[in-house]
Structure 1
């Protein structure tokens, strides 16, 4: 393909972990950030932000989307002299819905297109760029590829590589994100995790992670068991007690639920998008978010 001078990228939110799949399972959700980038004849970077993060995120070279572009151009080449960028964000920040991964994917995909590359043919490279910025591939792979993803990392003598396999989600699964009104820091919640966990808990969680692949793709009736976790959610409970209580309340009413990513958003995996009538949602906003089966979308020109 040639080298366009304008590109628009739409990237979905994501929910990671999905209970037991710490840093390995991800689900793309139909809540999107839109990023428009055009090549500027003059040098420098111009950034406009609307929606989530407006007035709070930097509007210069340190903007996460811009940083992702530079990472991608280091790989693809053809970095322009200057760019103009407009971000219209719908994904809440610091809520466990993959906003940083979505920004990284948007920037890397935009840079790929502006370098004259086809992002469909460069998915492997784009995954390395975006997951490398995140440190794990679950959110980035879901936003890039769509659907349900299983992600992992292989460590070599000189470098590591990220991998992901995408699967179609069973059509009966209707996720509802219960978005907390407060933010949570991934760094803080990771700091609550122990270096060592009991062998029984590791074995339990490993079995549930394997079961998740079956439950999300072909056997949704297994989601209640498949979303059980003993690896991370219990240790993180002090960071978001209200969210943990909501997970418990949903599961007590036979609704499979888990903390979304690093929280504090809760993901309920319903079959019809409806929640129990007696559920107390004080402090949370319920957003029915169908699975995004496409991932990052590109419009050129």
Structure 2
């Protein structure tokens, strides 16, 4: 057992769907969950940021539970640790906070249980736990994660993204995924499903080709979820209108919401960010880079 005395884990946030890529597309964002971990006689979670204030400080903490569950999934027992945790990722806002915690738990188990998992094995557990591979795929691999969830496991293709940045408009309220999913229809008409999947296909192809103007247009052609979720986010249309007028490529609901994500080129991003700050003073508007790396694990002293 060759365990480091201290471990530093950094997991990026993620946005999912990008409009029509429902439950199948995710992009890693430059906001991070950071954990410093060391073996201990008992579990202790030290929260070092306002974002996570009030979360459990013992083994009922979600990150601890994910570490224990991941270890058990691969036939090991997770030893207790002291965790110092801080995060830039808002909770229950559609920016992959749960996915980052799942990946962090896997990385803890992988190191302290000496599992030697590759990324495909890590993805297997993460996608089963999350229920879809978009956020966890982006948090694990970085860049654009294109994935599918099947009974036998998840498949993800990771692609780099360049020449574009994000602006996130974050309301002050939380929106649980369960509530956001409850407004979705049980089925779509055949023709509507064809049109919706065509938009998703074209979105991925446009990103691969570096045609962000077309990608942004396709982001705004969703028929899978946004038309049904708009009632939960009445500000969405106005954010999209202002962003478009300020030079954005495209705007979509981030994950299950309530955050709205806008993609733009590097020159336009600060202009859009300022316009949205002025229009929505009660919301948090941030200019955030897209990142092509997933979780990072470093042994410390």
Pairwise same-fold verdict (TM > 0.5): yes
The corresponding residue for 1:200 is: 191
Tell me the secondary structure at the aligned position of residue 241 of structure 1.
Answer: coil
From 95, 98, 116, the counterpart of 2:96: 98
1:248 Cα deviation from its structure 2 partner: 4.1
The corresponding residue for 2:229 is: 236
* Structure 2 CA distance for partners of 1:106 and 1:75, relative to 1, 3 Å: same
* Structure 2 CA distance for partners of 1:204 and 1:249, relative to 1, 3 Å: farther
The corresponding residue for 2:213 is: 221
Kept in 2, the 8 Å contact 1:152–1:164? The answer is yes
* Structure 2 CA distance for partners of 1:224 and 1:81, relative to 1, 3 Å: closer
The corresponding residue for 1:289 is: 288
Q: In 1, Cα distance between the equivalents of 2:59 and 2:275?
A: 48
Q: In 2, Cα distance between the equivalents of 1:126 and 1:174?
A: 28
1:88 Cα deviation from its structure 2 partner: 0.8
Unaligned runs of 5+ in 1: none
TM-score, normalisation: structure 1 = 0.91
Tell which deviates more after alignment, 266-275 or 20-29: 266-275
The corresponding residue for 1:161 is: 153
Please list the CA deviations of residues 234-271 of structure 1 after superposition, one character each: whole Å capped at 9, or x if unmatched.
10111111134322443465521101001111111100
1:199 Cα deviation from its structure 2 partner: 2.3
Q: In 2, Cα distance between the equivalents of 1:180 and 1:28?
A: 20
Q: In 1, Cα distance between the equivalents of 2:261 and 2:85?
A: 26
Q: In 2, Cα distance between the equivalents of 1:139 and 1:296?
A: 12
TM-score, normalisation: structure 2 = 0.91
Unaligned runs of 5+ in 2: none
Kept in 1, the 8 Å contact 2:247–2:264? The answer is no
* Structure 2 CA distance for partners of 1:278 and 1:177, relative to 1, 3 Å: closer
Kindly report the root-mean-square deviation, in angstroms, between the aligned alpha carbons of the 2 structures.
Answer: 1.9
Q: In 2, Cα distance between the equivalents of 1:252 and 1:196?
A: 34
Kept in 2, the 8 Å contact 1:77–1:115? The answer is no
Kept in 2, the 8 Å contact 1:97–1:265? The answer is yes
* Structure 2 CA distance for partners of 1:65 and 1:237, relative to 1, 3 Å: same
* Structure 2 CA distance for partners of 1:90 and 1:287, relative to 1, 3 Å: same
Q: In 1, Cα distance between the equivalents of 2:165 and 2:215?
A: 12
**Number of matched pairs:** 292
Q: In 2, Cα distance between the equivalents of 1:253 and 1:54?
A: 33
TM alignment of 1:106-117, pairs within 5 A: 106-117=104-115
